[in-house]
Amino acid sequence: MTIRLTQTVKKGGCAAKVAARELRTILGRLSFPPTHPELLVDGRHFDDAAIYQVSETQAMVQTLDFFTPIVDDPRTFGRVAACNALSDVYAMGGTPKTAMAILAFPLTEIESEVISEVLQGACDLLKEAKTCLVGGHSIDDDSLKFGLSVTGMVHPNRVWTNQASRTGDTLILTKPLGTGTLNAALKFGGLTEADLKVVHASMGRLNNVLDFLTPEEALCIHAATDITGFGLSGHAWQMAKASQKIFEINYAHLPIFEQAPKMLQEEYLTKAHKTNAEYTEGGIVDRKGLTALETLMLHDPQTSGGLLLSVDSAQAGQIVKQLAVHFPGVAVIGQVRNGQSTEGTGEGVGAIVIH
């Protein structure tokens, strides 16, 4: 019997993340352990991964990510989950080296052959990324969950964070938007996996942008983050806020999967559409006449979405040209402005303007 993985869980992919506002509330109650001088990046700015310096020329990138099924095919699920986890390392300018599996599934309800297919999908992706699977941990649980803990390496002077956007930078997005609503449509019968081949191929595409750029081009990338469960709105706002800048985004330039607007119009939504809107309520200071559907697209929770890059404008065109061969839909979506408040506009430090 063929099992539809999306029917075994209530929520799938990065749409299952704890809402950003709730997560900040929870973390705000904690007394964290002391940091170390070697800890270059921690979680204070909601960056994608931690950076720990081990020598003058090497720093360790650490992250983990796991979620419930967002697709029905087990091998595709394993591939997408692995790709999503590795994306955090790429978003820091790093190269993934090792990975450990995080696996939970109901032993009496899902056959072991299905789980082997999930793991094989991850192994196939890790082979492409030249990353070693070195172990992991599994438990018997009520629902299937899979992901990876990933360790990578980066030169301490070449770390990307979400805190270093510069005034005048160009904003580039490497993958189209819309995976949240499209996979909700898959779960609830509005679309089939055959309808979503292009979407799932994008979700399973590594965000290894550095592999396709020269060292000189790579140095022109000042800041980065990957777009996942908090949507373009949430992750872009976190990056603008951490950098103390204003991101001006042109909606007409956003790469969007062809079927996504129709699925939003048919109200294939997730809980994250609502919580992402609540999270960015004070961060998007001007929508300049966007429709309700267009606003939903900004809040659409992405799974294994693209990288948002803040790039020296003089090199943005060349970087897009280089990446376009490997990332269908890569596009310039906006500019970075000075983060100082402009009297009478309501704009402040760490904000998004969309037109």
Q: What is the CATH number of the domain that holds 232?
A: 3.90.650.10
Q: How far apart are CA 69 and CA 10, in angstroms?
A: 10
Q: What is the pLDDT of residue 19?
A: 73
Range of the domain at 26: 5-158
Residue 34's pLDDT is what?
A: 75
Tokens for 190, please give them: 């509005």
228 and 127 belong to one structural domain: no
Question: What kind and span of H or E run contains 241?
Answer: helix 231-243
Cα separation, 284 vs 295, whole angstroms: 10
Q: Mark whether 220 is an active-site residue.
A: no
Q: How far is CA 85 from CA 30, 90, 131, 205, 246, in A?
A: 25, 10, 12, 12, 28
Residues 154 and 266 in one domain: no
Of 151, 134, 132, 125, residue with least CA distance to 63? 151
pLDDT at 22 over 50: yes
Based on the fold, state whether residues 218 and 335 are members of the same structural domain.
Answer: yes
Residue 164 lies in a domain: no
163 within domain boundaries: no
State whether 347 and 198 are in the same domain.
yes
Strand pairing category for 39-41 and 50-53:
antiparallel
Summarize the confidence of residues 199-222 as an average pLDDT.
Answer: 96
Within a 13 Å sphere around the CA of 215, how many CA atoms are in the beta-carbon half? 3
* Residue 202 in this model has a pLDDT that exceeds 90: yes
Answer whether residue 25 is part of any domain: yes
CB neighbour class for 192 (10 Å; exposed up to 12, middle 13-18, buried from 19): exposed
Percent helix, strand and coil across the chain, each to the nearest 5: 35, 25, 40
**What would you measure as the largest C-alpha separation in the chain, in angstroms?**
64
Q: Are residues 192 and 340 in the same domain?
A: yes
User: How many domains, in total, are found in the chain?
Assistant: 2
Domain assignment present for residue 71? The answer is: yes
d(CA 179, CA 297): 10
Asked whether 226 and 63 are in contact (CB, 8 A), the reply is: no
Contact 182, 173 (CB under 8 A): no
Q: What are residue 336's DSSP bridge partners?
A: 247
In this structure, of 40-49, 181-190, 217-226, the range with the lowest mean pLDDT score is: 40-49
Indicate if the pLDDT at residue 16 is higher than 70.
no
**Residues 270, 317 within the same domain:** yes
| Rounded average pLDDT over 257-273 | 95
Do 183 and 154 belong to one domain?
A: no
pLDDT value of position 117: 96
Can you tell me the mean pLDDT for 31-48? 78
Shared-domain flag, residues 187 and 90: no
Whether residues 81 and 214 fall in one domain: no
Across all residues in the chain, what is the average pLDDT?
91
